[in-house]
């Protein structure tokens, strides 16, 4: 009788162990399949999705601490350039204003400007041109659309590459870009690429405007130096921001946009 009991117990635990092993195998396979599926989705290229009216919506992207997308090389460096760095700067500026309006913030890598939205001071590596919402935004010069993305802070953004290693960047655009605007497409000077929007979360407290940046040889430069004097004079200047600046050396841990 004792031998029979031992045999039954052995058979019971053997079967139970087999069931546990099968469950572990199934769970492991499920996890592997889930991870593989997620990785495959992440590897897919985020292409702008066309809308029924022919416009383009930028793909959502995740950002690194420096503002670039995860897993990608930033299209430009936020480090301000010096005169020695900017040897390709045109002697006779011939770039067009991207939008008409009021110059509400100037480019200055050494002066911290108060951000009403973020509640702090930060350098401003670009210019803000206040305008009406949905005002047309134009390509400052002929070039190629190098990148379209949805920045978590600056909203819908478009970058154009021009001659002489110059790049223009348009931020806080409307959700839908103009028809025919997609990565790799050529644009003419003055061609509409989108409209002024309110998609920049970091500037929600401000009036509708275009945040416009330019780089030369990968370094941030002042866009106003690339426009003709006549073009700059058409911008009425809002000096209210000068009352909210802190003129002090900028350390490496200061914020910028």
Q: Cβ distance 147 to 156 under 8 Å? A: no
Q: What is the pLDDT of residues 44-96, one digit of tens each?
A: 444 444 455 555 556 554 443 334 443 343 444 455 554 444 444 554 457 99
Which of 145, 138, 127, 139 minimizes the C-alpha distance to 209? 127
Q: What is the pLDDT of residues 11-49, one digit of tens each?
A: 655 667 778 778 888 878 777 777 666 665 555 444 444
Rounded to whole angstroms, the Cα distance separating 16 from 175 reads 58
| Domain range 102-234, its CATH number among 3.40.50.10320, 2.40.30.10, 2.70.70.10, 3.30.70.3460 | 2.70.70.10
Residue 14, pLDDT score: 65
Q: Cβ distance 130 to 104 under 8 Å? A: yes
Q: Cβ distance 101 to 55 under 8 Å? A: no
Quote the pTM value.
0.60
Q: What residues pair up with 210 in beta bridges, in sequence order?
A: 129
Residue 23, pLDDT score: 80
Residue 132, pLDDT score: 95
Query: Where along the chain do its domains lie?
Result: 11-39, 102-234
What value does the mean pLDDT of the chain take?
73
Q: What residues pair up with 120 in beta bridges, in sequence order?
A: 115
Residue 63, pLDDT score: 43
Provide the total of helices (H) and of strands (E) in the chain, helices listed first. Answer: 2, 17
Order of strands, sheet of 245-247, starting from the edge strand that comes earlier in the sequence:
120-124, 108-115, 245-247
Mapped onto helix, strand or coil, the DSSP state of residue 12 is: helix
Which of 172, 193, 189, 195 minimizes the C-alpha distance to 227? 189
8 CB-near residues (< 8 Å, 6+ apart): none
Q: How many residues does the chain have?
A: 257
179 CB-near residues (< 8 Å, 6+ apart): 53, 54, 55, 56
Q: How many CA atoms lie within 13 A of 40 on its CB side?
A: 6
Q: What is the pLDDT of residues 134-152, one digit of tens each?
A: 999 999 999 999 999 999 9
DSSP symbol at 197: -
Rounded to whole angstroms, the Cα distance separating 225 from 75 reads 21
């Amino acid at each position: 009788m004792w031998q029979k009991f031992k045999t039954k117990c052995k058979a019971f635990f053997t079967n139970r162990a087999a069931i546990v092993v099968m469950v572990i195998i199934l769970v492991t396979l499920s996890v592997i399949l889930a991870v593989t599926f997620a990785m495959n989705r992440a590897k897919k290229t985020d292409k702008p999705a066309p809308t029924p009216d022919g416009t383009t919506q930028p793909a959502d992207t995740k950002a690194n601490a420096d503002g670039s997308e995860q897993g990608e090389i930033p299209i430009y460096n936020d480090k301000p350039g010096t005169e020695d760095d900017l040897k390709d700067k045109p002697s006779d500026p011939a770039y067009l204003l991207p939008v008409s309006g009021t110059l509400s913030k100037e480019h200055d890598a050494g002066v911290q400007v108060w951000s009403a939205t973020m509640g702090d001071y930060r350098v401003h590596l670009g210019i803000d041109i206040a305008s009406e919402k949905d005002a047309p935004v134009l390509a400052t010069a002929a070039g190629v659309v190098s990148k379209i993305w949805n920045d978590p802070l600056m909203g819908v953004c478009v970058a154009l590459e021009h001659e002489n290693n110059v790049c223009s960047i348009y931020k806080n655009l409307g959700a839908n870009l103009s028809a025919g605007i997609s990565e790799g497409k050529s644009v003419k000077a003055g061609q509409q690429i989108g409209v002024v929007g309110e998609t920049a979360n970091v500037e929600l407290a401000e009036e509708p405007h275009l945040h416009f940046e330019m780089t030369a040889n990968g370094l941030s430069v002042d866009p106003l130096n690339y426009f003709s004097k006549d073009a700059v004079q058409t911008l009425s200047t809002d000096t209210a921001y000068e009352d909210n600046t802190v003129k002090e050396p900028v350390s490496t841990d200061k914020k910028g946009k």
